[in-house]
Amino acid sequence: MARYESDVTLFLKDLKKEDPQLEKGQRDGRARLWDKPQDLRLQREFEEAMVAQKPYVYN
């Protein structure tokens, strides 16, 4: 019995077949924008410095 594949899945498979470098480019883009080392001390300082928001912000 054949498994169902949605139109989106088929489209993505065809797209990757046409451009084999597409996935590598996606990974490179993610690494450039998101996969960064985190400074936990700095993150904790930001969280501690946050001011509590009023329940109704439009006052």
pLDDT of 59 reads 64
- pLDDT, position 52: 87
Q: How far apart are CA 21 and CA 50, in angstroms?
A: 42
2-57 per-position pLDDT tens digit: 899 999 999 999 999 999 999 999 999 999 888 888 899 999 999 999 998 888 87
pTM over 0.75: no
- Euclidean distance between CA atoms 23 and 10, whole angstroms: 15
